[in-house]
């Protein structure tokens, strides 16, 4: 089982258990034009008591690590926890919504999107809107300055500006959040908007 197969299993399990969740970060960006081939999966979850044992049962020992007590305590304390495939050495990071109250608005406006697994099968999952994915990536860039985040944001901007996307980026919303993150982040965001406009215009002339 590859990392992508494991991530797909985790998402499908959450769906089948009716456990409220939202994929964020790079995995969610796949639905909106991101082209990165390596990524982790981050999932915001709002789990109830019944979900801990049910989710653990889907990923039993000895291959998997999915301790229901660890999930319960992490949810109570608002601490991220993992589901781990010990055989493949991959993990899914699950973040209780109680840890990130600022994400409640994003969680409320999550969207259902189609993904494709490694066998070519299509499945649907709840993920963040493109505006919220970009905001998350601007926050991550502000904290660590990794250049993967601007590249991801640019891909999302170009894709959502095309006819392929029915969802657009709320640029006013993102601009406001970028300004709150600081002057350098706002400058980066404006630079990415300009680059996306140029690439979109170039593609339009080519067509």
φ, ψ of residue 23 to 5 degrees: the values are -75, 135
User: Do 71 and 24 share a structural domain?
Assistant: yes
- pLDDT at 106 exceeding the cut of 80: yes
- pLDDT at 35 exceeding the cut of 90: no
- pLDDT at 140 exceeding the cut of 90: yes
Rounded distance between C-alpha atoms, residue 92 and residue 83, angstroms: 5
User: Do 122 and 138 share a structural domain?
Assistant: no
User: Do 25 and 116 share a structural domain?
Assistant: yes
Of the candidates 163, 100, 164, 162, which has an alpha carbon nearest to the alpha carbon of residue 132? 100
Predicted TM-score of the model (pTM): 0.90
Mean pLDDT of 171-183: 98
Helix or strand holding residue 124 (H, E): strand 122-127
Q: Tell me the residue range of the domain where 186 lies.
A: 130-206
> Domain tally for the chain?
2
Residue 37's pLDDT band (cuts 50, 70, 90):
low
User: Do 75 and 27 share a structural domain?
Assistant: yes
Transcribe 37-91 into DSSP letters. S----EEEE---HHHHHHHHHHS-TTTEE--HHHHHHHHHHT--EEEEETTTTEE
pLDDT score, position 117? 83
User: Do 97 and 66 share a structural domain?
Assistant: yes
How many percent of the chain have pLDDT more than 70?
97
User: Do 85 and 23 share a structural domain?
Assistant: yes
Q: What is the mean pLDDT of the chain?
A: 93
pLDDT score, position 205? 65
């Amino acid at each position: 089982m590859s990392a992508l197969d494991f991530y797909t299993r985790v998402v499908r399990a959450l769906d089948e258990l009716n456990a409220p969740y939202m994929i964020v970060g790079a995995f969610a960006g796949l639905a909106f034009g991101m082209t990165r081939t390596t990524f982790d999966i981050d999932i915001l979850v709002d789990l109830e008591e019944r979900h801990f044992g049910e989710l653990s049962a889907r990923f039993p020992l000895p291959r998997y690590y999915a301790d229901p007590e660890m999930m319960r305590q992490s949810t109570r304390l608002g601490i991220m926890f993992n589901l781990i495939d010990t055989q493949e050495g991959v993990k899914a990071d699950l973040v209780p919504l109680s840890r990130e109250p600022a994400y409640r608005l994003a969680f409320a406006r999550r969207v259902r999107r189609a993904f494709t697994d490694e066998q070519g099968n299509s499945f649907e999952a709840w993920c963040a809107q493109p505006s919220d994915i970009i905001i998350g990536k601007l926050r991550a860039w502000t904290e660590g300055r990794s250049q993967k985040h601007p590249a991801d944001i640019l891909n999302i901007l170009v894709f959502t500006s095309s006819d392929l996307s029915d969802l657009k980026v709320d640029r006013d919303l993102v601009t406001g959040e970028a300004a709150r993150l600081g002057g350098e982040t706002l400058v980066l965001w404006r630079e990415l908007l300009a680059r996306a406009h140029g690439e979109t215009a170039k593609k339009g002339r080519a067509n």
